[in-house]
Structure 1
């Protein structure tokens, strides 16, 4: 599945299924083919994204500390990190919230 998030306050944002699912879970929503994020819920959604990013980065830092304590080197992170994947949605949420416009997908 591909998600296409739309808002009058920002350009469209397209996410592949697994990334869109993870983002929706981070903001406290269940993945679904259609939906809306109302302006009143955007502050909580932004906080959810920031929390997910912080948890992801803390887990990586802990893994690096454990590896260093064991005298080994942790492999570099592969691919694009959660911060890079979720930043566009956080920006879209901020713009939509400022303009008091909803974000919709699947419609």
Structure 2
């Protein structure tokens, strides 16, 4: 099982399973294929991108549930750990690192 380990001098390491870490990086417009860095000046946009993705994901799930209910079908099943829950520690890390002016790195 592969993982992403996000590191900074301000916080403890944030470890995510490969699929979830990859999704976070893709949401932020970062290349998940190798090592990388998020610099403090990039962090506000990263937080906003994640928040937008969470809102879009929740709207999509609501729409799919409503459509199933309209058709009289059972509600679809989604991952019990939502994108909102998975992204919360990452957003907190981004905000703390931005305030401290330190980078977040992975794959190093």
TM more than 0.5:
yes
3-state SS of paired residue (2:13): strand
Distance (Å, rounded) in 2 between the aligned partners of 1:104 and 1:77: 30
Give the TM-score of the pair, scaled to structure 1.
0.92
> What does residue range 9-88 of structure 1 map to in structure 2 within 5 Å?
9-88=10-89
Write out per-residue CA displacement over residues 31-71 of structure 1, whole angstroms, 9 at most, x where no aligned residue.
12211000000001001110111111000010111112112
Name segments (4+ residues, structure 1) moved above 6 Å: none
Secondary structure at the aligned position of 2:41 is classed as: helix
Give the alignment's TM-score, normalised by structure 2. 0.91
CA contact (8 A) 2:64 2:76 kept: no
Aligned length: 107
Q: CA RMSD in A?
A: 1.3
Number of the residue aligned with 2:106? 105
Secondary structure in structure 2 of the residue aligned to 1:21: helix
Distance in 1, matches of 2:82 and 2:93, equals 18
Determine the C-alpha separation between the residues in 1 that align with 2:22 and 2:79: 20
**Gaps (5+ residues) in structure 2?**
none
Q: Runs of 5+ in structure 1 lacking a partner?
A: none
1:2 aligns with 2:3: yes
